[in-house]
Structure 1
Amino acid sequence: MASLTLGSVASTPGRRALALATVLTAQCMFAMDLLIVVVALPRIQQDLGFNPASLTWVLNAFGLAFGGLLLLGGRLGDMVGQVRAFRVGLAVFVLGSLLGGLAQTPGLLVGARVLQGMGAALAGPSLLALVMVMARDAAEQARGMSLFIAVSSVGASAGLILGGVLTEYLSWRWALLINVPVGVLVLLAIGRLVAETHPKPARLDVVGALTATLGSVALVYGFISAADDGWRAPGTLLSFALVLPMFVVFVRTERRHREPLLDLRLLHDRSRVAGLVVMALIVGMHFSLLFMLVQYLQRVMGYTPLVAGIAYLPLTATVFAISHFVPRLIVRFGARILLAAGSLLVAFSLVGFALLGEHDAYLPAVLVPLLVHAVGIALVFAPGTVAIMDGVPEEHAGAASGLLQMDQQIGGALGIAMITSIYALNADHAHYASGLPAAFIGAAVIALVAALIAARGIVSKRSTCAAD
């Protein structure tokens, strides 16, 4: 990883702990923001006049911008310095949050969500790099990574809980506005607590940046359009038609460019590639579960936004608790076994959710598979991060972090689009639960594929992630 310019900044254990907490606060905001508005969608539709088809863009606009620009954000962090990239990105994110919270029309809200995603994409890749470089020894580095992974793992479900509380007692607008005071405090603190990394000036790979962004956005938009308008819709066909040419040009550009956006040698590692695939698939199925289940809780069980959010508390608490022990498990068993086992547990949990009906109770029909799912997710996120980031040269730390987070964000957006598309093809719209069996069985099959890839693709080796 890149090295810090050492000095008085974050030079004592207490200041380093405060610096780590500040960085993790920002990561928590970014992790929560994709789904924090989900429980508020009915009220947003009522207040701003969204039609049902366009309402999904409150969610998708953030995911598209975030996922599509992360690789560029990671490279810019390496070039200009991680702290500088983080602060600029966070400022853009805060501005988008403010505009979204004040929006009076659907177009303004969707535009603000795009701005949020752009800011998060610039700041996000710097976070993991900063967590690593702030550590002064292997134990601190392991604890920092463990906490980063835990916050990232629980962020989406925690966003649903917080979104429910804010929507119920204040307004859906506070699901966005809460980022403003928190973000300003982080901006003020980060410069005092964390010294700048050494910038590595380079020529920006403009063609690589454009093709990576356009290819990623086209891929995600294609699945979103398929879920909303069908697989034969012009927007769907055009989007998928753009994907392959964009990525072919991207790969050719990266091979020839002296200072590429992404050094393709990072993808020569078998375990890293397998980790990226497994992470994308499992994050996609995790996000699709969160998205589908919160609607089931409200539309079928009749929960309020607050109660629907609180229903995810066992998931959040379990993932956070287990994540503390996962670094030790990685050292003992290796990433391959944990990734395969976690993916299998996710698949089993999705089969359990496929059994949900119109008249089931939260306990046991929802709670039991939710806990199984939580254990599975906890066993995937940390080993997946280790498999992807292990052995990355320090000059490519930001780019690799951007690749990891792009993988997660695009995986999440694709997962939601794919599973909701399966749901739409099989649902009787008068009965929400009617489409759940097909949707969740499809998700379970994808999770089983992830388990197989983990078992066959991850090379067994001693992890560099020490137990804390």
Structure 2
Amino acid sequence: MMVLDASITTTALPHIQREFAFSAAGLSWVQNAYALAFGGLLLVGARAGDLLGRKRVFLLGVGLFTVASLAAGVAVGAPWLIAARAVQGAAAAFAVPSTLALLVDLYTDPLARGRAIALYSAVIGAGASVGIIVGGLFTDLLSWRWGLLINVPIGIVILILAPRVLHESVKARGRLDIWGALTSTAGMSALVFGFVQAAEVGWSDIYSWASFALAAVMLLAFILIERHAKQPITPLRLFASLERSGAYAGRVLVVGATSAIFYFLSQYLQEVLGLSALETGIAYVPITGMFFAMAYVVGPLQHRFGRPVVLVAALLVALVGVVWLSRIGPGTHYYPDVVLPLLLLGIGQGIAIILLTQSGVAGVAPEDAGAASGLVNVAHQVGGSIGIAILTVVFVAAAPSPSPQRLELIAGFHGVFTGAAVLYSLAVVLGIVILFAGRVAASRLARAELRDAIATAP
């Protein structure tokens, strides 16, 4: 429910824009208010679950999410809607981290844990496209508001059933790293705001550059605070592993590119190809099916070829799909020019997200499970916000008029999909670095073991 809501309004964006008179850049806050609050507070939510009990924090998050969904569904203006979406994201930030942490704690067998994480990752990876499908269904048949209001009865059912079937986790001793939480949230918020502001008023705007400067100061302060904090919200030792660090950075790139593709592709299908909101939602069914299907093939592939090799191959497949999609033009049709690239993207991104999730929690100590799972989700949500913000700048630069015509829209979408291909290219390079670094580390370990064996031989 909470992952799906990151994209539930995607197919409704043209309707919301007309109803509330959003600008092209301002419209992105309908998505970013949710994703940014979600990503910015995830570390706080993960730590709160460790300290207060994951079941308790989960229930509190679901309760607040349900109320915020009701408020968003009955919004009467743009500020109201954006504020309610931000509260939704904040509530999700406290409920979601407990899920992955509980999975990591529950499954001690590596194979069982791998299967559980694969299914979890499929839900996370497919959530965006499922949200688009469901949002299109409600928008076309009822109203875009029902995509948000449907959370109310679901949330009530969860609040009734969860106390009966969930068991409370062992509470950790300690305190919440308030300053770390504040500086990390402020830094990421300022970074995204700077990109959105630049897209709306131009790069000469002083507030954009002030936001970038504030982001740099806050993120630097966050690192310094975490280095000296007795109980940091993000233990910097999590970044000591190249595999985990690469997984977090790779997730930002992959999710940033894919989120922007979904965000703008839904507008392209409606504004250029003339599809309805329902038809746009149905157009995402193939990629959604691929996301779920990959959960059942990634295990055998990983067992045979190894995680780094499969990751690089998956990113390359996704890159081919995005490059193909970037070739849209006036004569583009849904088949084959959109659906076939989406299938390739579904295969590549579906596998990559699963492997990046596994790498993001690989080798962590039990006491760091909450923080590691929080970082995985932070990279996912903040990556989506940054990707949409950056590529909104690209879109506005390519289609600068307030009411762009068809050819201007196509130029804007072409620029966005090309930018997404650049992000995927960077992810491929990062995957190759991780692959070779892992092989070098394995070679060094093998040589060290050989030297030890020789030294201890009779």
2:429 is equivalent to residue 452 of structure 1: yes
What residue identity is the alignment partner of 2:261?
Answer: L
Deviations 1:108-147 (A, max 9, x none): 1111101101001111111111223344755543332121
TM-score, normalised by the number of residues in structure 1: 0.89
1:243 is paired with a residue whose SS is helix
Q: Counterpart of 2:103?
A: 131
Match of 1:233 among 194, 205, 214: 205
Q: CA RMSD in A?
A: 1.7
Distance 1:338 1:287 in 2: 22
Q: Which runs of 5+ in 2 are unaligned?
A: 443-458
2:414 is equivalent to residue 437 of structure 1: yes
Distance 1:377 1:111 in 2: 31
Match of 1:61 among 24, 33, 39: 33
Q: Counterpart of 2:451?
A: none
1:360 is paired with a residue whose SS is coil
| Contact kept in structure 1, 2:3 and 2:128, CA below 8 Å | yes
Equivalent residues in 2 for 1:308-323, closer than 5 Å? 308-323=280-295
2:153 is equivalent to residue 181 of structure 1: yes
**Structure 1 range deviating more: 155-164 or 207-216:** 207-216
| Contact kept in structure 2, 1:157 and 1:312, CA below 8 Å | yes
Distance 2:265 2:118 in 1: 27
Distance 2:333 2:26 in 1: 32
Match of 1:109 among 53, 58, 81: 81
- In the TM superposition, residue 334 of structure 1 has moved relative to its aligned partner by 2.1
Match of 2:61 among 89, 92, 98: 89
- In the TM superposition, residue 48 of structure 1 has moved relative to its aligned partner by 4.0
What residue identity is the alignment partner of 2:118?
Answer: S
Q: Which has the higher Rg, Structure 1 or Structure 2?
A: 2
2:9 is equivalent to residue 34 of structure 1: no
| Contact kept in structure 2, 1:327 and 1:382, CA below 8 Å | no
Equivalent residues in 2 for 1:19-418, closer than 5 Å? 29-135=1-107, 137-418=109-390
- In the TM superposition, residue 186 of structure 1 has moved relative to its aligned partner by 1.6
What residue identity is the alignment partner of 2:179?
Answer: V
1:104 is paired with a residue whose SS is coil
Amino-acid identity (%)? 39
- In the TM superposition, residue 285 of structure 1 has moved relative to its aligned partner by 0.6
Distance 2:273 2:40 in 1: 35
Distance 1:137 1:335 in 2: 18
| Contact kept in structure 1, 2:63 and 2:159, CA below 8 Å | yes
Are residues 50 and 243 of structure 1, via their aligned partners in 2, closer, same or farther at CA, if it must alter by over 3 Å? Answer: closer
**Structure 1 range deviating more: 107-116 or 126-135:** 126-135
Distance 1:166 1:157 in 2: 14
| Contact kept in structure 2, 1:58 and 1:113, CA below 8 Å | yes
TM-score, normalised by the number of residues in structure 2: 0.91
Q: How many residue pairs are counted as aligned between the two chains?
A: 434
| Contact kept in structure 1, 2:318 and 2:348, CA below 8 Å | yes
**Structure 1 range deviating more: 124-133 or 446-455:** 124-133
| Contact kept in structure 2, 1:214 and 1:246, CA below 8 Å | yes
Q: Which runs of 5+ in 1 are unaligned?
A: 1-28, 463-468
What residue identity is the alignment partner of 1:289?
Answer: I
Q: Counterpart of 1:465?
A: none
- In the TM superposition, residue 221 of structure 1 has moved relative to its aligned partner by 1.6
What residue identity is the alignment partner of 2:412?
Answer: G
Deviations 1:235-263 (A, max 9, x none): 21111001121122111111111111111
2:222 is paired with a residue whose SS is helix
